[in-house]
Amino acid sequence: MRRKVTNRNIALPDLQYNSVKLSKFINSVMQDGKKQTARAVVYRAFDYIKEKTDNPNPLEVFDLAIKNASPLVEVRSRRIGGANYQVPREVRPERRNALAVRWIISAARLKKGQPMHIKLADEIIAASKNEGTAVKKKEDTRKMAESNKAFAHFAW
């Protein structure tokens, strides 16, 4: 059995909104170590969210988007007796947030023809309304787990 990880790095809250979750989101947006650029993109996206929605606090929209894009179950491959089975498993809370962040950012990066802050803001707004590519990915994952429920007894 695996040991518990004791020395997790604790992220510091971000500068503007004082949120640890947003700080981790900025780190995920960052490419090639360009944190200042990632911060600028995320903060401009939050300003855009403020404009587009009636909510003066974009952090609430962001939290709702993360919550809506977070999967509850996923499938993991398990090799048993020469056959691979897709075994549905419950997702740990840390992984749930990490997957939601990853899916929102990748959905924004796949869009074409607009600046990154607008694509990111649109994807966050869509996820907060239970729409968009990230939420669709969550639903696909849930359906996959649902269809493989027969193999749940193989869970380890």
Q: Residues 13-40: pLDDT tens digits?
A: 998 999 999 999 999 999 999 999 999 9
Q: What is the pLDDT of residues 108-150, one digit of tens each?
A: 999 999 999 999 999 999 999 999 999 999 999 999 988 887 8
Are 155 and 93 within 8 A, CB to CB?
no
Domain ranges of the chain: 20-154
- The three-class DSSP label of residue 73 is strand
Q: Please name the fold of domain 20-154.
A: Ribosomal Protein S7 (1.10.455)
Say if residue 78 is exposed, middle or buried (CB neighbours under 10 Å; 0-12, 13-18, 19+).
middle
Are 58 and 50 within 8 A, CB to CB?
yes
